[in-house]
Structure 1
Amino acid sequence: MISLEHAQLRLMTPADLIAVIQIQAEAYVDEMLESQEVIAARLANVADTSWVVECAGQVCAYLVAYLSQANSVTPWGSEFAHKPDADTFYLHDLAVSHRAKGLRMGPWLIAGVFDQMRERGLRRAALVSVQDSQGFWSKLGFRVVDQLAPEQVRHLQTYTGPAVYMQCDL
């Protein structure tokens, strides 16, 4: 049985990619699915900010993120790497398996990762909310940023459905 009591937050490895792809397929509409090659390239670039939650020997959630700059939106499907002079922790992809539904795995994972980012000296987090997840992120302290440069608005428009750029203080 999956529970937070026995959950372990750890860095993602290439061996986790199949489970990550399966969880992504559970969590997102088909238009939002990213290829294993894209996810593997991101992992290679930002292995120190990509995590999984392991429960009973199985990956049950993941987060792929990177160090970025405020008000900078990553276009959907693009590769990324840590940005020089980063001031913001950018959460690109958080997904939780249906097996862990109702356990508050997402907020638990975010809390553990935010502690690590504060230790690195970061004071802000950002993300693009998709698939009507704005309420979830608002409960975690994120707020909508309406004023973005035109190029960043174009990047935001690469996401399927309503997409909203949000930030919070760590």
Structure 2
Amino acid sequence: MAWRLMTPEDLAQVQVLADMIHVDHPEDRAVLAERQRLYPTGCFMLTEDEHAIGYAFTHPWHLGEPPRLNRMLGELPSSPTTYYIHDVALLPTARGRGYAAQVTDRLIAHAREAGFDNLSLVAVNKSQTFWEKAGFRVLAAEGLKAKLASYGPDAALMMHRLASPPRGA
């Protein structure tokens, strides 16, 4: 079992998963499809016996300005300042099996290869501890209280700073 790149054909399964996993944070299929279309190299699927059990959406963005939930982006920024993890979602039966850590490692490697010096996300649904173990830290979010509140009461803006490569590397 491994994470693979998401295709447009996966979006129906992604929507089913999203509706089951994020009952309090629904997103329209058009929003998810736009994310996959805008940055296909940052969208992943996890399947088991040909059944979708998880997905991830990521894309370049502006640090400290998380996109609103269930809103179209329009386009990606020409000068992004973070590699943004929009969502890593797993069915309850897939949790605790190392899949989230696998895709997180892949996302960190992708961000580094793409030249980003950080990744950011909004932790929700009591996931802050997981992200802290992966090297993310809460980022002060002055002026973002209202936007973060739309993500839920435990929402926290987090960032993972990537170490600079060794000199001569």
Pairwise same-fold verdict (TM > 0.5): yes
Residues 1:105 and 2:99 are matched in the alignment: yes
Structure 1 window deviating more from structure 2 (91-100 vs 117-126): it is: 91-100
C-alpha distance in structure 1 between counterparts of 2:106 and 2:41, whole Å: 14
> Deviating runs (4+, > 4 A) in structure 1?
none
**Normalized against structure 2, the TM-score is what?**
0.85
- Conserved? CA contact 2:111–2:119, under 8 Å: no
Cα contact 1:26–1:98 (8 A) shared by 2: no
Structure 1 segment 85-100 matched on structure 2, within 5 A: 85-100=79-94
Write the mapping of 1:21-40 to structure 2, written as runs, cut at 5 A.
Answer: 21-28=15-22, 30-40=23-33
Match of 2:167 in 1: none
CA deviation string 1:2-37 (max 9, x = no partner): xxxxx2322211111122122223322x22121222
1:122 match: 116
Indicate if the aligned counterparts of 2:84 and 2:121 stay in contact, CA closer than 8 A.
yes
Residue 154 of structure 1 aligns with an amino acid whose one-letter code is: A
Q: Give a deviation string over 1:35-66, Cα, whole Å, max 9, x none.
A: 22221122222222111123333332211111
Q: Partner amino acid for 2:117?
A: R
Give the alignment of 1:146-157 within 5 angstroms. 146-148=140-142, 150=143, 152-157=144-149
Give structure 2 stretches of 5+ with no counterpart: 163-169
Counterpart check, 1:163 vs 2:155: yes
Which residue does 2:11 correspond to in 1? 17
- CA distance in structure 1 between the aligned counterparts of 2:96 and 2:108, rounded to whole angstroms: 21
CA-atom RMSD, angstroms?
1.8
TM-score by length of 1: 0.85
Higher helix share: 1
The number of aligned residues is 161
Q: What's the counterpart of residue 3 of structure 1?
A: none
Match of 1:75 among 68, 74, 80: 68
Q: Deviation of residue 147 (structure 1)? A: 4.1
* Pair 97,121 (structure 1): closer, same or farther in 2 beyond 3 Å: same
Q: Separation in 1 of the partners of 2:78 and 2:153?
A: 31
